[in-house]
Amino acid sequence: MNMQRRLLFTRVFQLDANLINAKQKVKAVNQLETWRDNGVICLAASNAELMKAQASGGAAAHRTKLDSRTFTVDEASEAEEEHIYSKVEAILWSKAANDNHADDVAIVCEAIKWRAILVTDDGNSKPQPEGIYGNREKLRQEFGLQVLRPESAVQFIRSKISERDEFNARVAALTGKLAPGWTGQD
């Protein structure tokens, strides 16, 4: 019986553009980035986000943060993209009214395509009752997309880390092998 690897058996976590965290102020995102750096999770950003940042130039801290990210790749056929894009647009906004709405649709489409868990702080507020988070249940029902707040993503990952570490401890007890040094450290 083999122990589980450090990298969790979960889907990729895709950060929404509003969570780039260039100034390191969001504790939950800092934790996600630490787990990424330690090889515990795969954390990516969308290609749509990269294209937008490259086109706009953006702040130096934001560009530096983007340079350290892994990005999804956008290779779907136009017909497939158009079909999914139209459905997502209808769920999120009825019709994308501005570039930010269109960016949200593109980010959601990439998360759907890569079957990622989308982590966002978008939507579900009085000024913005629609948006990504406000429509998470519709996105789950239509596409199977899981949308989480950063804090919920951290809780989810902590539960998976506990499961992995408990499994490795049982294997160690049964086989007499030492559990990996990172057990209980993540």
- On whether residue 155 sits in a domain, the answer given is yes
> Is 25's pLDDT higher than 90?
no
Q: Report the 3 state secondary structure along 115-170.
A: CCEEECCCCCCCCCCCHHHHCHHHHHHHHCCEEECHHHHHHHHHHHHHHHHHHHHH
- On whether residue 8 sits in a domain, the answer given is no
Q: What is the pLDDT of residue 131?
A: 82
* Average pLDDT rounded to a whole number, residues 34-55: 81
Partners of 117 in beta bridges? 13, 146
- On whether residue 17 sits in a domain, the answer given is yes
* Average pLDDT rounded to a whole number, residues 80-101: 83
Instruction: Dump pLDDT digits (tens) for 64-90.
Output: 555 555 545 555 545 457 889 899 999
Q: Is the Cβ–Cβ distance between 110 and 72 less than 8 Å? A: yes
Percentage of residues in the chain with pLDDT exceeding 90?
Answer: 55
> Is 185's pLDDT higher than 70?
yes
Q: How far apart are CA 116 and CA 42, in angstroms?
A: 10
- Which secondary structure element, helix H or strand E, spans residue 13, and what is its range? strand 13-15
Dmax (CA) of the chain: 61
Q: Is the Cβ–Cβ distance between 137 and 123 less than 8 Å? A: no
- On whether residue 180 sits in a domain, the answer given is no
Q: What is the pLDDT of residue 19?
A: 83
**Could you list the residue range(s) of the whole structural domain that residue 89 is in?**
13-175
Q: What is the pLDDT of residue 79?
A: 47
- On whether residue 34 sits in a domain, the answer given is yes
Q: How far apart are CA 60 and CA 63, in angstroms?
A: 5
> Is 60's pLDDT higher than 80?
no
- On whether residue 161 sits in a domain, the answer given is yes
What CATH code is carried by the domain that includes residue 37? 3.40.50.1010
- On whether residue 127 sits in a domain, the answer given is yes
- Mean pLDDT rounded to a whole number for the chain: 84
- Number of domains, the chain: 1
- On whether residue 48 sits in a domain, the answer given is yes
To the question of pTM greater than 0.75 for the whole model, the response is yes
Q: What is the pLDDT of residue 98?
A: 83
Percentage of residues in the chain with pLDDT exceeding 70?
Answer: 76
